[in-house]
Amino acid sequence: MRGILFVMSGPSGAGKTTIVKAVMSELEGIEFSVSYTTRPKREDEVDGVDYFFVDEKTFKSLIKKGEFLEWAEVHGHLYGTSMNFVESRLNDGINMLLDVDVKGALNIKKIFKDDVFIFVAPPSFKELKDRLIKRHTEDPNNFEKRIEDAKFELSQISKFDYLIVNRDISTAVKQIESIIISEQLRVSRLAEFVGKYNFYKSKDGADL
């Protein structure tokens, strides 16, 4: 059976990265799709694990080759998801987790209509501002721009399947886990098992 693509999105400062790290270390049966970016590597990040860090020239040649499922410029840097990588893993039956910005998620939804789109929101707008201020690596000049972006992004929640309000990390991880487990049980994804054949019959009609 094909794997399921879980696309996690939300404004900067919602805590997506922390959730992804906890999900990947605590949960089994799901793989993280590493994105490409031209953004400078932060100190605690690892190339090939957090992102593939590339320069702008390399990134643009990948765009030309049609390599990206989605790509976007976010706060002056380019981010992209490798189409070949994601599709081949899904076809191998592996569930994939993607962490992309809201516009990227909505672009992916045009192609992967039946997959799962999760919006992660901070507990309040004040909390979002506080988190952006605390994040030392952010350029303070970008702050107002990020607030405006967050307002747009929060207006897009209705286009997602699930909303997680990130009040504490352990609850958020448990919620993501629940979504991953329950989506695999959806009858609409099990058509090959519950289709025209009797559920317990093999194709030659024998009881299983």
Where on the chain is the footprint of a second copy (CB under 8 A)? 119, 121, 124-126, 151, 154-155, 157-158, 160-164, 174-175, 177-179, 181-183, 185-187, 190-191, 193-195, 198-200, 207-208
Nearer to a second copy, 126 or 134 (CB): 126
Q: How far is the CB of 1 from a second copy (least distance, A)?
A: 13
How many Å apart are CA 36 and CA 178, to the nearest integer?
Answer: 28
DSSP string across 69-105: EEEEEETTEEEEEEHHHHHHHHHTT--EEEE--HHHH
Buried b (16+ CB within 10 A) or exposed e, 164-195: bebeeeeebbebbbebbeebeeeeeeeeeeee
Q: How far is the CB of 145 from a second copy (least distance, A)?
A: 18
Nearer to a second copy, 58 or 124 (CB): 124
Taking every pair of Cα atoms in the chain, the longest distance, rounded to a whole number of angstroms, is 69
Q: How far is the CB of 136 from a second copy (least distance, A)?
A: 24
Q: How far is the CB of 96 from a second copy (least distance, A)?
A: 18
**Is the distance from CB of 123 to CB of 14 less than 8 angstroms?**
no
How many Å apart are CA 107 and CA 153, to the nearest integer?
Answer: 14
